Amino acid sequence: MDGHDTSQIKNITVVGTGVIGNGWITRFLANGYHVTATDPDPAAEERMRDAVEKAWPAMERMGLADEASMHNLSFETDLEIALTHADFVQENVPEREQLKRKVMAEIDQYTPEETVIASSTSGILPSTLQADCAHQPERVIVAHPFNPVYLIPLVELVGGSKTELFFIEKAKDLYDKLNMKPLVIQKEIEGHVADRLMEAIWRESLHIVNDGVATTEEVDASIIYGPGLRWALMGPFLTLHMGGGKQGMRHLLDQFGPALKLPWTKLVAPELTDELAEKVITGCEKQTDGVEMNSLEERRDQFLIELQQLLEKYWPGANLTGKI
């Protein structure tokens, strides 16, 4: 094996061109890679190119690599042909276990040796994904991104029971070159880390709306103007550490630890009744009344660009890199 040298990785194959796949394509292209996208739907090519073109101004503002070009993108409906010269594979087919396993086995069959096979799955375990791979299951990993992939830097890397560390390290090096923040998760777990945390807040939010405590707009405001501002810089642990004063978390746990036993949170999701669904839907529609989704996406992207610039100014690496 050639160490973790990723300088030879030039050609990326992206399997599946939905929202996540197209986000990856945009990010790879903006960082100077050649991308072959594959999808069994011939109509997917037009949607893919439209998505990349739409996101490109944001990438220009973030900063393009010297070799970056939308012209470095090709589309292929035949999976085997698309994988022939792949130096790295990013899989993004729909979140259906049997489909994922079938596609991963095919990718394993057609891809050159030593090529990392990374899945964007948000919840399926890597051990499950590699179960049907007959050639090199040790190179199959989870590399779970967050939407919009072309701007959000976090990517969760998880290996399965057959995964070799070499391939996780190789993937980590590549994502570093994409200006991402790869987080290597030590144990595989359903939903990985960030989605599990978001799911907990999502469940509580549904209870609060269902019980008539607050509207969807008020729940969102409670995060935007409260903990969300601090979380963007420090996350939940360091935020609470600072809440403990000079003694930090030691004092906070001593003072507020008993409150963890209080039945504040529901944890189990509420029944998604028609009434609750309608509350959530109409609430969100009211929040966005008169604003097109395209306009919301543009506003989100500009905000994320400026927020990341601010984050890098005050907390580079959020200590993932050992810097404070």
Residue ranges of the binding site for NAD(+): 16-21
Q: Residues marked as binding?
A: 16-21
What 3-state class would DSSP assign to 160?
A: coil
Name the DSSP class of 137.
G
Q: Which two tokens stand for residue 177?
A: 């070159």
β-strands 73-76, 181-185 pairing:
unpaired
Nearest to 141 by CA among 176, 180, 84, 188: 188
Q: How many CA atoms lie within 13 A of 85 on its CB side?
A: 9
Q: What is the DSSP string of 54-82?
A: HHHHHHHHH---TT--GGGEEEES-HHHH
Query: CA 105, CA 15: separation in Å to the nearest integer?
Result: 13
Nearest to 176 by CA among 195, 157, 163, 158: 157
